[in-house]
Amino acid sequence: MRRIERLINLIAALLDSRRPMTAAEIRTRIAGYQTDNVEAFRRSFERDKAELREMGIPIEVVKDEDDVDAYIIPPKKYYMPDLDLQPDELAALRLAADAVLGVGDEATAGLRKLSLDAADDAMSAPHVVWGADVAAEQPLLGPLLSALLEKRPVAFDYESGDGKRSSRHLEPYSLVHRRGNWYLVGRDVDRDAVRSFKVSRIRSSITPDAGRYEVPQDFDPDAHTGVEPWELGEANDLKAKVRFDEKLAWWPQQNMPRLPLTDGPEGSVEVEMPVANLEALVSWAVGLGDSVEIVDPPEARRHMLDHLGPFLAAP
């Protein structure tokens, strides 16, 4: 499981839990922490707690009835109140944000807690935006995670890519994050088949269904969330080596757990990727900025340099 998925599981569980959860309960109930190695769990949990607290997420420690440390995220401290800012106040705040963005980590962290969208129609009060992958942005993640933890079927209205809506009944198996989007994967009860659903296309609240279920031992969420754009094309045996410099070395470790990773020069990480569409690979690599470089094969590297040529040419 990718670390961002584990973090969002922890946030949603502690935010939605009716009572504080002990470390033992977190290890056995929250996906991403379920391991027999208690020491490995402890290290992961301590790192995750520290990272979430650095983001400003209020994880509180209380004693349970057995005097054991237990953890919870109080919703009243997590969600920001409606600031009810007027349009001129929002405009001034945006100007201030433009002036201080990038000054330091504290300023950046503070500004991330406000939605400062410059769109003309975005004059409503700011809301929490803890980052690209946090439960406050996707309010359905909390009830979906609760259903996962309790192994309880759910029902919801879903809008497919062609705009058609339908009522779906699902036994949730996993919540996964792919290419900037959250997907709910599970057994579609009406179709008796495993399906994936983009969370942002769910058009209703999540309603619990009766009954319980078990997740199959051989369930693999990656088999049901589609392929990457660079894998779509004529079948071939082309392999590309992509290098992430030290600043972005965490990205493939977090987002490409199934691909071979090797250490590169000067703290970089290199990934070997199957490629059927060079144009899609180049567009993806360019989108990640100058911290990513296509190293091999020569035709893939040349394709990227050709793509960047007009931007690199002297004025």
Q: Which residues are registered as beta bridge partners of 168?
A: 156
The DSSP element (H or E) to which 158 belongs, if any, is: strand 154-159
Q: Which residues are registered as beta bridge partners of 171?
A: 187
Please tell me the class of the 3-78 domain: mainly alpha
Of 82-96, 113-127, 286-300, the range with the highest mean pLDDT is: 286-300
Residue ranges covered by each domain of the chain = 3-78, 81-127, 141-222, 229-312
Q: How far apart are CA 294 and CA 292, in angstroms?
A: 7
Checking if the pLDDT of 168 tops 90, the result is: yes
Instruction: Dump pLDDT digits (tens) for 219-228.
Output: 877 666 665 6
Quick check: do 3-78 and 141-222 share a fold? no
Sheet order of strands, 165-178 included: 193-198, 181-188, 165-178, 154-159, 207-208
pLDDT value, residue 226: 61
Distances 129 to 9, 64, 136, 251, 274 between C-alpha atoms, Å: 17, 31, 7, 21, 34
Q: Which fold has domain 141-222?
A: SH3 type barrels. (2.30.30)
Q: Which CATH number fits domain 229-312: 3.30.460, 2.60.40, 3.30.70, 3.60.60?
A: 3.30.70
pLDDT value, residue 311: 56
The answer, as to whether pTM is greater than 0.75, is: no
Other beta carbons within 10 angstroms of residue 31's beta carbon come to 19
Q: How far apart are CA 12 and CA 100, in angstroms?
A: 31
CA atoms within 13 A on the CB side of 136: 20
Instruction: Dump pLDDT digits (tens) for 26-49.
Output: 998 887 888 888 888 998 899 888
